[in-house]
Amino acid sequence: MSMPIAPAIPTTPAERLRWALSDAWVVSGRELIHWVRNPVVILNTLLFPLIMVLLFGYVFGSAMRVAGGGDYREFLMPGMFGQTMVFGVISTVYVVAANAARGVTDRFRSMPVSSFGVLMGRVIADMLTSTLDLVILMLCGLLVGWRAHHGLGSALAAAGLLLLLRFALVWVGICMGLRLTPEGAGAAWMPLFPLTLLANTFVSPELMPAWLRIIAEWNPLSATVQACRELFGSPGLSGGSWAAEHAIELAIGWPLLITVIFLPLSIRRYRRLNR
Amino acid sequence: MTRFAIEAEGLRKRYGDTHALAGFDLAVAEGTVCGLLGPNGAGKTTAVRILSTLLLPDGGTARVAGFDVVGDPAQVRYRIGLAGQQTSVDEILTGRENLRMWARLFRLGPREAKRRTDELLEWFGLAGAADKRVKHYSGGMRRRLDLAASFILAPRVLFLDEPTTGLDPRSRTEVWRAVRDLVAQGTTVLLTTQYLDEADRLAHQIAVLDAGMVIADGSPSRLKSMIGGDQIDVVVRDAADLPSAARIIARVADASPEIDPDAARVTAPVKDPLEAITVTARELRDAGLQVEDLTLRRPTLDEVFLSLTGRGAGADGDRPAAEKGMVRP
């Protein structure tokens, strides 16, 4: 049997980056095969948004009013997009925790694989599935009357902001996943669910008590959702507060801040895993 | 001069108040198998994790395949393979996809990754199941795939953390064969195990670990001779004959015989094995005792372990299993 010869360990930053990207490509390929071969996950991806749209759009929507008037379902859809981006964290946390518990992470770490590459692989896979989530959800939205009134460019910009939030949250998910057991990861939705409601997702902050309104308006999710409503031309824009007036800036700033904090934390945690 | 593939000196690791390793020393010669033996919590897995660069030690030094595990982990990682307690193979992927992914992560080019994958599948007897998803594999097949994955670059040093725990006897034999083949190609293996017969069969060197330190280190036969030479075992048909059998054995024995009434067995260490067995056989026959079994043997590793640590390898007095040399955690 002829033994393969390993290439020399890279020394220049450019080579290291090339290797990290090649590792990321291989790892994301694995994650995507998982996703494609798991019919339950696909069904979830397709059905969950549809159920949520019908539930909130029609069941709750019949009793909801939008501050400043307008169609509730048009108001709701940007909120649903944002909530879906946040809920994506749950699957990130779970997969990362499961890989660590099953020894997959240990094998990666005992190999000369770039740690940044492995984590980027996770990010790429999550971003691709989230993009698909978003596309499906937008199609659902079109069916119930949501429209992007300011044209394709603005709509794409809004989608970009949503995915930027998702990108930042993937790093939060990796960080949490590396600390939790898969069982613990299953409980990740518990703190997330209220966080997605203490925002402008389903109810205009103007209709909330003053103290709650402040929390809701400064919630990073609200910034993204408010920015999307601006870009889509949806009804029910909040107004008055600084946060509401600078939604687009905040929708870029919050995710960048989260990434700056959690990306290095994730890489550090990954390198020092000592369970 | 012997070259060492693994050299550890004074490794220490503490978790809170627990000293997982308290001055761990080990030297394993190139091309040999070292069995790391010890009860649960003795520090076996911690030692393997430090030597395979997964965990930083609090103190001490270790070199694996010539490189420092703390100072030069990337070089070490190119030269080691690790098969942990859980098989890290991916259930959703097929065997072939698993190996190809790991080969790509070891930076083999696409063509080389494919060639090496086919070769390893063949060599580990998985070619027939290569395109089945791993979730349909048996336990033994998974372990072999896991071994194949840790062998993509033909590692100089292979770490196996309890490679056959939970496997049926046939699968264990398959894994043992694979390990022997790897060693025949010059790989050094560090193997942790709770199965004494596994260490006895595979290892050239055995290090017994207790409370984070190596308390005995040497070849299996040297360890066995540490607690004395040969033993004579007599099993009688009728337990009522045990005292008479013990009296006969006492005449040739080096120490007073031990009687195990449940097994109807008398055991004693002897100095001159040939003399002992001849005399014992004759006298047992003359006394007219019904003898089921008369054997001369070296002490088992379990007995070595018991005498070194004051408890069995299972650490919880799991005697019946221990006697078969298969101590489960």
How does A195-231 read in b/e, with b if 16+ C-beta sit within 10 Å? ebebbbbbbbbbebeeeebeebbbbbbbbbbbbbbbb
Asked if residue A1 is part of any domain, the answer here is no
Interface test with A, best of B45, B86, B107 (most A CBs within 10 A): B107
Q: Does A59 touch chain B (CB under 8 A)?
A: no
Helix axes A72-101, A151-177, angle to 10 degrees: 30
Tokens linked to A25: 């490509």
What is the number of structural domains in chain A? 1
Which residues from A are below 8 Å from B154, CB to CB?
Answer: 3-4
Q: Give the number of other CB atoms < 10 A from CB of residue A179.
A: 16
User: ipTM of this predicted complex?
Assistant: 0.81
Nearest CB among A6, A30, A103 relative to B101 is that of A30
pLDDT mean by block of 10 residues, chain A; 275 residues? 66 87 92 86 78 87 82 92 92 91 87 90 94 92 92 96 97 93 85 89 88 92 95 86 89 96 93 66
pLDDT 10s digits, B177-226 = 888 988 998 899 999 987 778 888 899 999 989 889 998 899 988 887 77
Which residues from B are below 8 Å from A34, CB to CB?
Answer: 90, 92
Q: Measured between CA atoms, how close is B1 to chain A, in angstroms?
A: 27
What does residue A143 show for φ and ψ, rounded to 5 degrees? Answer: -65, -35
> What residues form DSSP beta bridges with B296?
B232
Asked if residue A12 is part of any domain, the answer here is no
Domain region containing A154? 21-56+68-272
Asked if residue A183 is part of any domain, the answer here is yes
- Which candidate, B228, B305, B280, places its Cα nearest to that of B38? B305
Spatial neighbors of B172 by CB under 8 A, at least 6 apart, are B140, B164, B198
Asked if residue A219 is part of any domain, the answer here is yes
Asked if residue A13 is part of any domain, the answer here is no
- Which candidate, A97, A178, A104, A31, places its Cα nearest to that of B84? A104
> Could you write out the DSSP letters of every residue in A153-205?
HHHHHHHHHHHHHHHHHHHHHHHHHTTS-HHHHTTTHHHHHHHHHSSSSSS-G
Asked if residue A45 is part of any domain, the answer here is yes
pLDDT 10s digits, B88-134 = 888 999 999 999 999 999 888 899 999 999 999 998 889 999 999 99
CA distance B175 to B320: 25
Domains of chain B: 4-225 (3.40.50.300), 230-297 (3.30.70.100)
Are A110 and B75 in contact (CB < 8 Å)? no
**pLDDT tier, B311 (very low <50, low <70, confident <90, very high otherwise):** low
Name residue, tokens 């919880």.
B316
Q: Does A111 touch chain B (CB under 8 A)?
A: yes
The average confidence (pLDDT) of chain B is 86
Nearest CB among A104, A109, A111 relative to B106 is that of A111
> In this predicted structure, what is the pLDDT of residue A40?
83
> In this predicted structure, what is the pLDDT of residue A86?
93
